Structures are given as C-alpha cells and as structure tokens.
C-alpha cells in the first residue's frame, strides 16, 4: 500500500439513512465526501461516481469496480427499517449485530447511538473503496483486482 487515507479529515456530506430506500441514487464522490487532502492529491477522484444500490445482504457492503471509476455502496446494510443493526465494531469490522428483538428493546438514546455507529461505519467502507481507487491510480492493479468485491 503506497497511500493510506487519513480518515480523521474525512466528512460525509450526507446521512446514509436519509437516502430514500427505494431510490437508486448516483452522486459524485465530492458530493458524498469532504476530504481536502485526498482531493488535493487526487483531484480526479472528485468526479468518480458513487452508486447506491440494493445488492442484498449476502454480498459486499461496498465495491470498487476497476476501470469504471465507480464505487457501489450496498444500501441494504445502511438504510431502511430492516437493515442489520450494528452492535459492535472492532478493528474496522462489524463483529456483532443486534437481533431484531434486542434492537427493538433498546432505548431511543441507544438507537440513536447505533445510528451514529452506522454512519461512521458507512464512512469507513466508503474510504476503503476510495483506497482501491487510489491503488488503481497508483498502478497497483494486482491490489485492486485482489480486493474486488470486498
């Protein structure tokens, strides 16, 4: 890895839960993400496309497709009444989800906290996919292909 994206400087311009669940939306990366250093180093990334799709829970949360300048985010994990509710994140991965019953029994405050966790986790998945785009720009194609679909 030649470049690691510093996520302390990254900010999402949208709340993923505010995207209409039944919409299939597309926006540019700069519409989705504020990140001055990243866009200074790789201005071409601003125009990369981010698609929001429903791909089901048996597939990846996000995908960068090499050669198309497109990141696809799987809304089924991040949006809608029936999305899985995150209980625990460790080392950048979701390690536990709430069962439906557990989640329903949470206080409003705990539900709000889960919502914030989801937003943060969504941001980290976006940045992970951006990392693949950077790998492609830098010519590390083997990296890109090895990690496709993650």
> What phi and psi values does residue 68 have, to the nearest 5 degrees?
-115, -5
Nearer to Zn ion, 102 or 150 (CB): 150
How far is it, in rounded angstroms, from Cα 5 to Cα 3?
A: 6
Task: Indicate the burial class of 37 (C-beta count within 10 angstroms; 0-12, 13-18, 19 or more).
Answer: exposed
Looking up tokens 């937003």 gives 119
Residues in contact with Zn ion by CB under 5 A are 147, 150
Nearer to Zn ion, 117 or 147 (CB): 147
Least Å from the CB of residue 28 to Zn ion: 21
Nearer to Zn ion, 8 or 93 (CB): 93
Least Å from the CB of residue 150 to Zn ion: 3
Least Å from the CB of residue 132 to Zn ion: 6
**Long-range contacts from 68-71, C-beta under 8 angstroms, 24+ separation:** 69/133, 71/29, 71/126, 71/129, 71/130, 71/133
Which residue's CB comes closest to Zn ion? 150
Nearer to Zn ion, 76 or 143 (CB): 143
Least Å from the CB of residue 82 to Zn ion: 25
């Amino acid at each position: 890895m030649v470049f690691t994206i510093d996520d302390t400087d990254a900010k999402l311009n949208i709340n993923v839960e505010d995207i209409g669940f039944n919409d299939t939306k597309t926006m540019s990366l700069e519409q989705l993400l504020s990140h001055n250093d990243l866009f200074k180093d790789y201005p071409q990334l601003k125009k990369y496309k981010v698609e929001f799709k429903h791909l089901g829970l048996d597939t990846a949360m996000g995908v960068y497709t090499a050669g198309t300048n497109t990141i696809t985010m799987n809304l089924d994990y991040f949006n809608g009444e029936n999305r899985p509710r995150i209980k625990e994140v460790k080392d950048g991965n979701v390690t536990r989800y709430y069962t439906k019953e557990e989640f329903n029994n949470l206080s409003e405050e705990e539900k709000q906290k889960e919502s914030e966790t989801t937003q943060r986790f969504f941001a980290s998945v976006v940045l992970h996919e951006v990392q693949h785009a950077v790998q492609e720009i830098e010519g590390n194609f083997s990296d890109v292909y090895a990690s496709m679909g993650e």
